[in-house]
Structure 1
Amino acid sequence: MIKQTTLLLCLLLLTLVNFSCSKKRGLEPAIVIDEKNLTACPAGANCQYLFTEHADINPGPGTFVTGNYRIFWSSALNQGVSYTMYIKAPMMGTSFNLKRADIINGKIEVSRSCPACLFAASKLVDGYVKGINLLPGKPADQTKWILEAQIISESVYGSPAVRDTVFLKQYFYPNFVYN
């Protein structure tokens, strides 16, 4: 009888130890962004890398409204040609990771303007965006984020479709003041 009780207790103990040592499933790995090799602003261009909180983008990019996102935008203006990328990131947390499905579902918007250029109609088809708050203990208006993005667009017309990839890695600063 004592042998059976001891055996059962040992089996119970082994089972508990086995469960406590197993990997936790469902947790995302920590987001890592190397702060080297930041994207340079093109020669002669005026670039901005900013973010605001509790916002959304009106249809037809460029104007913000109150919303549930942290909006990051990078813009480059060079001799009348402008390119702006808007990123709708979640408000919660000190990091985020947007994947292909997020990009296709409109979490990224791109606006480009050139009065004398011929642009082919395109749609966003793939890529990723990840971001980390580098000063999470600071108030939102005193922090900075680093974002890394690779956005792939594809021409709507033509066969085969023409693809273009935009890569961005840069620090983003607040475009608002709380204090």
Structure 2
Amino acid sequence: MKKNLYTLQLLMCFMVALLSCGKKNEVKKKVEIDPNNLTSCRINNTCEFRFTEQADIDSTIRFKSGIYRLFWSRENFSGGTNTIYIKAPMEGTSFELGKEDILTGKVVYAQVCPACSMVAVKMVDGYVKGINVTPGQPADKAKWLLEGKIMLQSIGNANFKDTLYVKQYFTSNFIID
């Protein structure tokens, strides 16, 4: 009886070891973005959709050297600016950021409007994904298509919600202006 129990235990250990050594067949999902229905700039506003590499932003939203491919979507309007900063990984020709990335600071939303009556908001959900549509081109000639949907909620009143949406081509800006 003891010999059978020992054999059974040995067989179980062998099976566990065999299963743990198996190659994981994780297939990375291909990032896809429909290039139609791009967001446009509102009438009388100016917009820019840019990126730079090996960059980051500090707590005062100033550019600095870093480990990210930093994208920004900026809309200038009479008296103010809305900007979304996206900290994407440097490697690869595509990326996806989800809710957890947004909540940990990989996406930053900044509103500047001294004369506006604004409600303080925080990001609570969303996604951003991007594809290099010119793979093989040098970084200063690269063009990325990004799509993002960021859900905002008032800091003081959870009933006030808003959604930011961007879907546009981003071009390089290696001179920080």
* TM-score normalised per structure 1: 0.82
User: Secondary structure of the residue that 1:106 maps to in structure 2?
Assistant: coil
Are 1:31 and 2:52 matched, yes or no?
no
2:173 is matched by which residue type in structure 1? N
Q: Identify the residue that residue 159 of structure 2 maps to in structure 1.
A: 161
* Pair 162,25 (structure 1): closer, same or farther in 2 beyond 3 Å: farther
User: Secondary structure of the residue that 2:32 maps to in structure 1?
Assistant: coil
Question: Structure 1, residues 80-124: CA drift from partner, whole Å, max 9, x if none?
Answer: 121011000000000000000000000011111112212112111
Q: Identify the residue that residue 175 of structure 1 maps to in structure 2.
A: 173
Alignment of 1:76-91 (within 5 A): 76-91=75-90
CA distance in 1 between partners of 2:57 and 2:174 (Å)? 16
Alignment of 1:127-138 (within 5 A): 127-138=126-137
CA distance in 2 between partners of 1:162 and 1:26 (Å)? 40
What percentage of residue pairs aligned between the two structures are identical? 47
Q: Identify the residue that residue 18 of structure 2 maps to in structure 1.
A: none
CA distance in 2 between partners of 1:129 and 1:64 (Å)? 20
CA distance in 1 between partners of 2:42 and 2:27 (Å)? 38
User: Secondary structure of the residue that 2:125 maps to in structure 1?
Assistant: strand
Give 1:32 shift: 0.5
1:166 is matched by which residue type in structure 2? L
CA distance in 1 between partners of 2:27 and 2:58 (Å)? 33
CA distance in 1 between partners of 2:160 and 2:27 (Å)? 37
User: Secondary structure of the residue that 1:76 maps to in structure 2?
Assistant: strand
CA distance in 1 between partners of 2:60 and 2:145 (Å)? 26
Runs of 4+ in 1 over 6 A off after TM superposition: none
Question: Unaligned 5+ residue runs, structure 2?
Answer: 1-23
Are 1:92 and 2:91 matched, yes or no?
yes
CA distance in 1 between partners of 2:166 and 2:159 (Å)? 23
CA distance in 1 between partners of 2:63 and 2:112 (Å)? 18
Q: Identify the residue that residue 12 of structure 1 maps to in structure 2.
A: none
User: Secondary structure of the residue that 1:101 maps to in structure 2?
Assistant: helix
2:85 is matched by which residue type in structure 1? Y
Question: Unaligned 5+ residue runs, structure 1?
Answer: 1-23
Question: Structure 1, residues 137-179: CA drift from partner, whole Å, max 9, x if none?
Answer: 1111111000000000111112x431110110000000027xx
CA distance in 2 between partners of 1:38 and 1:90 (Å)? 23
CA distance in 2 between partners of 1:138 and 1:115 (Å)? 41
